[in-house]
Amino acid sequence: MSNLSIRPVRSRRELKRFVKVPFVLHRDHPQWVPPLILDRMQFLNRRKNPYFEHAEVELFIAEREGEPVGRISAQIDSEWDRTQGGSDGMFGFFETTDDREVAGALLGAAEEWVSERGRERLLGPMDFTTNDELGLLIEGYERPPMILQNWHPPFYKELLEGLGYGKAIDLLMWYLELGELKQGDQFAPEIHAAAEKALRDEGVTIRNFSKRNLGEEMRRFREVYNEAWADNWGFVPPTDAEVEFHAKILKQVLDEDWGFIAEKDGETVGVAFTLPDINQALAKTNGRLLPFGWAKFLLAKRRIDRVRVFALGVKDEFRHSGVAAGLYLKHLDAASPDGIPAGETGWILETNEPMNRAMEGMGGEVVKKYRIYEKPLRSSG
């Protein structure tokens, strides 16, 4: 085994080593963006992240000659079981050198762990759920990842497929030139007409998100999110505690100019949260804001010129009313030629034909594709 070892994380020191594995593997890749180490430590803290209240997780590190060469998580989630059935286990946080032995040992550890717990299929990568960083990058390697996106080198796909993993579903990331759309060059007139109908004839109003009332706004977001995304592949509704946890993490990133709430007669009927691509600033920090990272971060933050649509959804009753079109138009109002001229959508399932048609109607282009893999297992539980 060439002195290769796979061992579970058992201490805070080992957890930090787990977090820093991609810093070792990807430090020479210009597209990779280092996450904030403190943020990742908090996310993986079993006492702080509410995900651990309904999930069982094991983290593994691969080492050779005392040096980290890979990592992986294995998890089973009672909320996934409740909404999707009880035969699946998941893997996530997958990182490896270009070595079939390392990748096979990591995935083998995850397979064995979930099999021992009676699971018959392994899905991933999921870090940890479909509401978190999701999928393996299979197209768009030349583009840097945006906020809440992973980046993987091309050989990850070859390793996974060579080890028996097949496609479960693909996720599409669309790129939109908002500056061009604002000039009306590419925007389909049908979207303008639908938005005008919703706002004029159906009494829908769209206002900006309020950070001052963050708790109440996140309650509205969760109400729409849980209904609008309910039919998506693999959707698991986040708990109140999880929404609150993520809101606290993202509070410093949320921009009121890019958050929208659609309402009718006092009822929240649609939401859109779009995030400035803070990765453009994080690329300068090497994962740390101290002692000098703050200066680099703040300087780079002023130069952010991309956004990512974190979530845009409408309640079922209003899905064909033009509310979504109104939310699209609000993004054009927020954009400006000398401000934020472009952005990417959050992931859209390849099977979501209405949303993908809408992106085409706005002149969008698929620039990244992520894949969820699956492998049947023989349960030993």
In angstroms, the CA 190 to CA 343 distance is 22
30, burial (CB in 10 Å: exposed 0-12, middle 13-18, buried 19+): exposed
User: In Å, what is the CA distance from 228 to each residue of 44, 131, 171, 220, 316?
Assistant: 28, 13, 17, 12, 6
- pLDDT above 70 as % of the chain: 89
Residues constituting the chain: 381
From 91, 89, 92, 94, select the one nearest 117 (Cα to Cα). 89
**Confidence tier at 289 by pLDDT (50, 70, 90):** low
**Confidence tier at 294 by pLDDT (50, 70, 90):** very low
Residue, of 299 and 225, whose pLDDT is higher: 225
Q: What is the end-to-end Cα distance of the chain in Å, rounded?
A: 27
In angstroms, the CA 174 to CA 344 distance is 5
Q: Which top CATH class is 4-171?
A: alpha beta
Burial 272-291 (b: 16+ CB within 10 A, else e): bbbbbbbbbbbbbbebebee
C-beta separation of 57 from 167 below 8 A = no
Quick one: pLDDT at residue 50?
A: 96
Quick one: pLDDT at residue 379?
A: 57
Residue pLDDT, tens place only, 27-52: 889 999 998 899 999 999 999 999 99
C-beta separation of 381 from 116 below 8 A = yes
What's the CATH architecture for 175-369? 3-Layer(aba) Sandwich (3.40)
In angstroms, the CA 97 to CA 69 distance is 6
Model's pTM, two decimal places? 0.90
- Angle among Cα 181, 313, 177 to the nearest 5 degrees reads 20
Average the pLDDT over each of 13-22, 31-40, 177-186, 200-209 and give the range with the smallest value: 177-186
Quick one: pLDDT at residue 86?
A: 79
C-beta separation of 210 from 255 below 8 A = no
3-state helix, strand, coil in the chain (%, to 5): 35, 30, 35
Residue pLDDT, tens place only, 67-125: 999 999 999 999 999 999 879 999 999 999 999 999 999 999 999 999 999 999 999 99
C-beta separation of 78 from 232 below 8 A = no
Average pLDDT, the chain: 87
How do the domains of the chain map onto residue ranges?
A: 4-171, 175-369
**3-class secondary structure, 120:** coil
4-171 and 175-369 agree in CATH topology: yes
Give just the sign of the alpha carbon dihedral 111, 115, 121, 124.
negative
From 224, 272, 214, 276, select the one nearest 245 (Cα to Cα). 214
